[in-house]
Structure 1
């Protein structure tokens, strides 16, 4: 099941960019993101994300 970009952005609300994968995952965990969102974020490539849309694109392409 695909994760909604809206759900991802809710989990990443207030996130400071640029951010690496570890920072994205930790922020989502501390925001109480659901299991499906966490699974998607843990599957992200190890790189620096410049803005929220970069995270959504990476999730959509993984």
Structure 2
């Protein structure tokens, strides 16, 4: 499975309105032409609302740590 830098993901989340659901994040990334690795990681985020970009970054960091 792919690991991504949270900052890499944030580039593709421009325009998302927070709080945002996982679906909102994935849809926004796809709309912004995120690559397959970014979409894969976003699709593995926990089902919850994310109140700000740093919440998304923390969740991505947790996914990256799980893959060590």
TM-score (norm: length of structure 1): 0.92
Instruction: For 1:58 and 1:6, locate their aligned partners in 2 and report how far apart those are by CA, in whole Å.
Output: 12
- Structure 2, unaligned runs of 5 or more: 64-68
C-alpha RMSD of matched pairs (Å): 0.9
Q: Which runs of 4+ in 1 moved over 3 A?
A: none
Instruction: For 2:35 and 2:57, locate their aligned partners in 1 and report how far apart those are by CA, in whole Å.
Output: 16
Instruction: For 1:46 and 1:30, locate their aligned partners in 2 and report how far apart those are by CA, in whole Å.
Output: 20
Question: For residue 28 of structure 2, what is the aligned residue in structure 1?
Answer: 27
- Tell me how far 1:2 sits from its aligned partner: 2.2
Question: For residue 58 of structure 1, what is the aligned residue in structure 2?
Answer: 59
- Tell me how far 1:24 sits from its aligned partner: 0.6
